[in-house]
């Protein structure tokens, strides 16, 4: 009933008292939450859907240094070792100078070679075409293209045509529903482990709320819920392992990350 009332209000306001800009539309959505027509989670998701219309692919892509790639000269064994270690299913195959992508290798395409060891293997024989998009592409247009062409991964290039990153449909969905973690990203350990009075090990998926409670901070960030997401948004890219980020009286040293998220970090209190 509440959803029906929400959409009735939305259509009434759109056609009888039309919001004149994005700010007014967001205000209408917030008003609906305050009137209990929609819950907080739904409100956030709608706000995030509106937000992606003004964001570019460059802002959400996995940067080039964090992409796991293969090369045309790799043997079957080397490809399999990388596939098993990363647990991914799709891999960009890059040129010798690492600036251009030859295509994608799909892990399942190697099954026939594993079944028949005598079959000669060359990476070029199993390449699939790569979808190339510019850094300047809007995220909502990227989502439409993913849907229309039925693919969910694309190579991002800069103005000179050089590879700068990779974007997936999951990156875009995370903008709408929040960080997505699978069973390999989490465990039953505490999110914050105390080493001593000044140093802590913190999981990247620790909620901002929990982090604020533990460290007496007041971090807030639109569209992200975890401390890992907060740091990534703060520096506007995925950091690299060993990178140090200082915010207020805290020093964050990135210790573990995958090609999508900060998995673990060391947090040091600079002044006690």
Q: What is the mean pLDDT of the chain?
A: 82
- Residue 98's domain is classified under what CATH number? 3.10.580.10
Residue 187 lies in a domain: no
User: Which residues of the chain carry a pLDDT beneath 50?
Assistant: 1, 3-4, 11, 14-16, 183-184, 186-188
Residues 64 and 108 in one domain: yes
Residues 165 and 152 in one domain: yes
Residues 121 and 155 in one domain: yes
Q: Which residues contact 143 (CB under 8 A, 6 or more apart)?
A: 52, 169, 172
pLDDT score, position 8 = 55
CB-CB contact of 266 with 259 (8 Å)? no
Q: Which residues contact 207 (CB under 8 A, 6 or more apart)?
A: 225, 226, 227
Residue that is written with structure tokens 């992200």 in the block = 224
Number of folded domains that form the chain: 3
C-alpha span between 187 and 153 (Å, rounded): 28
0.85 cut: is pTM over it? no
Domain that holds residue 63: 59-176
The domain boundary, picked from 125, 152, 176, lies at 176
C-alpha span between 25 and 74 (Å, rounded): 52
Residue 161 lies in a domain: yes
The domain boundary, picked from 118, 145, 176, lies at 176
Residues 84 and 119 in one domain: yes
pLDDT score, position 117 = 82
């Amino acid at each position: 009933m509440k959803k029906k009332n929400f959409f009735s209000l939305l259509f009434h306001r759109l056609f009888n008292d039309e919001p004149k800009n994005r700010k007014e539309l967001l205000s209408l959505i917030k008003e609906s939450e305050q009137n209990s027509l929609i819950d907080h989670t739904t409100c956030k998701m709608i706000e995030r859907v509106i937000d992606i219309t003004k964001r570019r692919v460059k802002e959400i892509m996995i940067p080039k240094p964090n992409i796991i790639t293969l090369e045309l000269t790799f043997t079957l064994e080397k490809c399999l070792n990388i596939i098993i270690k990363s647990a991914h299913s799709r891999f960009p195959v890059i040129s010798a100078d690492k600036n251009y992508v030859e295509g994608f290798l799909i892990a399942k395409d190697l099954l026939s070679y594993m079944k028949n060891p005598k079959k000669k293997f060359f990476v070029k024989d199993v390449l699939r075409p790569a979808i190339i998009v510019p850094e300047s592409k809007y995220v909502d247009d990227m989502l439409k293209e993913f849907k229309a062409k039925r693919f969910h991964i694309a190579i991002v290039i800069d103005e000179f045509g050089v590879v700068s990153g990779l974007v997936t449909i999951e990156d875009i969905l995370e903008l709408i529903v929040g960080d997505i973690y699978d069973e390999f990203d989490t465990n039953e350990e505490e999110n914050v482990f105390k080493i001593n009075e000044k140093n802590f090990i913190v999981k990247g998926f620790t909620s901002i709320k929990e982090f604020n409670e533990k460290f007496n901070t007041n971090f807030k960030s639109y569209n992200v819920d975890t401390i890992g997401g907060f740091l990534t948004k703060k520096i506007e890219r995925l950091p690299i392992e060993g990178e140090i980020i200082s915010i207020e009286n805290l020093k964050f040293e990135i210790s573990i990350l995958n090609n999508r998220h900060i998995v673990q970090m060391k947090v040091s209190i600079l002044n006690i």
